[in-house]
Amino acid sequence: MTNLVEVPVTNLVAKPAAIATIDATGSIINTFMPGVGSIFALALGGLYHGYRQVRNRKVNEALVQGVERARAILTTTPQGQVADAQFVKWLMAHQKEAGVFSTVSTLVEQLSDNPAAKLTAQELADRLKQAKPQAQAA
């Protein structure tokens, strides 16, 4: 039996209150200067989206590098190397189950500072590309 662990969302998602505030600000400005409020709300929404994108990239980068650092520590001993292999196998299985395997390998390739991790991520991405046509043909 697999124990499922509830994982908190690490991405900064749009907060309904922030979106409502942006919309309300645009409506108030539109009351006094028609059309300007809509443009202002659009600009504020764009800035908010940009902030979320930068923040999400930093969160993803910290997670990827944290896993890579943990793996580097594990590989310093023979017992750790065995644990690292089991850890990688577990990560891959659960990423496949969650349907995020290709996304994670892309993140590792983009955000990891470990050359070996980048090579592994590229290899995984290549294998995924090769597996897709075979799965579609079946």
Give burial (CB, 10 Å; 0-12/13-18/19+) of 83.
middle
- Residue 53: is its pLDDT beyond 90? no
Buried b vs exposed e over 36-70: b needs ≥16 C-beta within 10 Å? ebeebbeebbeebeeebeeeeeeebeeebbebbee
Nearest to 53 by CA among 106, 102, 21, 11: 11
Sequence ranges of the domains in the chain: 16-137
Q: Any idea of the CA torsion for 38, 41, 46, 47, to the nearest 10 degrees?
A: 150
Tell me 6's DSSP state: -
What pLDDT is attached to residue 24?
92
Q: Determine if the pTM surpasses 0.75.
A: no
For residue range 82-131, list pLDDT tens digits in order: 888 888 888 878 777 777 777 777 777 777 776 766 666 666 667 667 76
Q: Give the mean pLDDT of the chain.
A: 77
